[in-house]
Structure 1
Amino acid sequence: MALLGAIEAGGTKFILAVCDENFNIIDRTVVPTEDGPTTLAKVTTYFDQFDNIDAIGVAAFGPVDLNPQSKTYGYVLDTPKPGWAGFDFLGYLKNWRDIPYYWTTDVNGSAWAEYRHGANSEVKSLVYLTVGTGVGAGIIVNGQILSGFGHPEAGHIIISKNPKDHYLGHCPFHHDRCLEGVASGPAMEDRWQQSAKELADEHMAWEIEADYLAQAAMTYTTILRPDKIVFGGGVPHREVLLPLIRKRFAELMAGYLATPDLEDYLVPVANGDNAGILGCFYLAKSAMTRA
């Protein structure tokens, strides 16, 4: 029986899984993220249990090099994560077992799962925005993952500061000028001294957060015109947030551009915490077919 592998490589943990040709999960485990060589030694030890894996999808925290023509294709680039900057992630795997791999970012993996199997299975283009430890986006345009000189860093778009917000920002590069600096989970916790899970629904934090995410949604809408924008990650788990985003988005857009009904346009993630793994499986199948 042919098997597919998935590596959802996060900054805190790696989720590893194996499925059959119908995408039924056969086995799954989690290993902590240590330095590159130590972590991937555990990854390959896990997959050594399975002799008949035909392909593996890898969705990795970044920044990573996705350009096949680059000398550092498959590498993790400059990152503050100890033991990872300049690490040849994909090369390590190829030296272990020479099978097809699909190499992409963690958020692209989740975006592809939403595109293939989630609320967006009938659309051609979408933006998947994750708001958690950081803010990032996977962008699908006409059925293709968007990438060029590098992958999009849509969490670092410049936004207008909410007049009620006096926080100085969490991003070490852009401080309070970029989306990640003011809207990420750590930014919320640092600003309010409470995590997004702990904040009351009535707290003004949600009005401010909705403003920033609505600004981002408007920017993505005007530039990309996607069929849907999907919100994932820990912060949008709070049900109070999405209705506020839709309301603020409508105010900001001010009737300028037509969009689908906002209940169908600005939506929560359909695959929950399984999105990354499912995306890796689908991409592994794609790599196997392409090979």
Structure 2
Amino acid sequence: MELYGGVEAGGTKFVCAIGTSPEDIRAEVRFPTTEPRETLAKTVEFFRQYMVKNNARLTAIGVGSFGPLDLNPSSPNFGKITTTPKSGWAFTPLVQTLQDGTGVPVFLDTDVNAAALGEGTWGAAKGLKDYMYITIGTGIGGGLIINGMPHHGLVHPEMGHIRLIHDQKADPFVGICPFHGDCFEGLASGPALQARLGKPAESVPAYHPIWELEAEYIALALNDFICVVSPQRIILGGGVMQQTHLFPMIRVKVQQFLNRYIFASQILERIDEYIVPPALGNRAGVMGAIALAKLRVEG
């Protein structure tokens, strides 16, 4: 049986696993994301120790990473994190470092594309070919799967940085994105909520008006994604979406914003099956990295 490694390379933590599916995980480890040399050394050591101890060789390692990333094989910066605001990580050569350290082929994609692949392989999008996974947490990002494959385009989608309708009178908050101020991430990420409230958003009750505003911003973004991409399903993950009372609010607002223009029963009659949480929960990222490795090897 082919054995794969997966790395969920997050801005706050790395999750590494070895296995073939959610039901067959042979080893797993989590550790904080510190500076690149230390973090990647721990990643390499995890895979090397497993292979030596078990006299086994991994077929490939998939990595779903925070970004932005260079995913163009003809680029001199291919396989690197590029212009990330995370201190010390800009232009870190992820692929080269992990391949050199483990001797195993490494395949890289965005963390959200990887999570989307995981959900399509084993989770909430199983059986679908065209769908989206959006994470709303420390940052906001979106993974887009078209015809069963992750979409890159010029670089890769940056769905967290689209501009939303921002009523300055109703919400005078300027936003926290260092690049765009009040983009989607700048207005609706976890840190944006905390900046408004002066405390973690999860500490305020479900009836607090911040959640109505949050649902509106998420629904505005989904309205645009639905009109542009026409996904078969939208999966919403990340720490903010642990506030499950947001889901019905978002669904109602999406229907209101679309105003029956997108004439599809999934939106008009079964929207609770169209905008959904991830079936893999907080394991979507690392399982998606394993799915990425399997996809690149097995096709």
Q: TM-score range by the shorter chain?
A: over 0.9
Comparing 228-237 and 163-172, the one that deviates more: 163-172
Structural mapping, 1:107-122, within 5 Å: 107-122=112-127
Structure 1 gap ranges (5+): none
Give distance in 2, aligned partners of 1:20 and 1:116: 11
Structure 2 CA distance for aligned equivalents of residues 21 and 235 of structure 1: 26
Q: Which moved more, 1:97-106 or 1:185-194?
A: 97-106
Q: CA deviation at 1:171?
A: 0.8
How far apart in 1 are the matches of 2:248 and 2:143?
22
Equivalent residues in 2 for 1:40-189, closer than 5 Å:
40-51=40-51, 52-162=57-167, 163-176=169-182, 178-189=183-194
Q: Is the 8 A contact 2:8 2:63 kept in 1?
A: yes
Q: Does residue 199 of the first structure (1) align with residue 226 of the second (2)? A: no
Tell me, yes or no, if the aligned pair for 1:100 and 1:288 is still in contact at 8 Å.
Answer: no
**Structure 2: gaps of 5 or more residues:** 52-56
Q: Structure 2: how far apart are the matches of 1:92 and 1:118? A: 31
Q: Does 1:270 align with 2:282?
A: no
Sequence identity percentage: 39
Structure 1 residues 222-231 or 164-173, which shifts more? 164-173
Q: What secondary structure sits across from 1:130 in the alignment? A: strand
CA distance in 1, matches of 2:45, 2:221: 41
Contact 2:71 2:108 in 1 (8 A): yes
Question: Cα–Cα, structure 1 residues 202 and 21, in superposed 2: closer, same or farther, change >3 Å?
Answer: closer
Question: C-alpha separation between the residues in 1 aligned to 2:31 and 2:124?
Answer: 30
- State the Cα distance separating 1:106 from its structure 2 match: 0.9
Instruction: Give the counterpart letter for 1:267 in structure 2.
Output: V
Alignment: residue pair count: 289
Give me the TM-score of the superposition, normalised by structure 1: 0.95
2: distance between equivalents of 1:287 and 1:120?
A: 19
Query: Is the 2:164–2:220 contact (alpha carbons within 8 Å) kept by the matching residues of 1?
Result: yes
**Residue of structure 2 in register with 1:281 after alignment:** 290
How far has the Cα of 1:98 moved from its partner?
3.4
- Preserved contact between residue 8 and residue 106 of structure 1 (Cα < 8 Å): yes
Amino acid at match of 2:225: Y
Letter in 2 for 1:168: V
CA separation of 1:165 and 1:156: change in aligned 2, threshold 3 A: same
Does the CA contact (< 8 Å) of 1:5 and 1:56 recur in 2?
yes
CA-CA distance at 1:123 after TM superposition: 1.6
Measured at CA, do residues 34 and 200 of structure 1 come closer, stay the same or move farther in structure 2, by a change above 3 Å?
same
Instruction: Indicate yes or no: 2:12 matched with 1:6.
Output: no
Secondary structure of the structure 1 residue equivalent to 2:27:
strand
Q: Normalising by the residue count of structure 2, what TM-score does the alignment of the two structures yield?
A: 0.92
- Residue deviations 1:63-98, cap 9 Å, x none? 111111111110110122222111111111222233
C-alpha separation in 2, matches of 1:197 and 1:29: 26
Counterpart CA distance in 1 for 2:42 and 2:185 is 31
CA distance in 1, matches of 2:260, 2:20: 47
Q: Distance in 1 between matches of 2:2 and 2:114?
A: 21
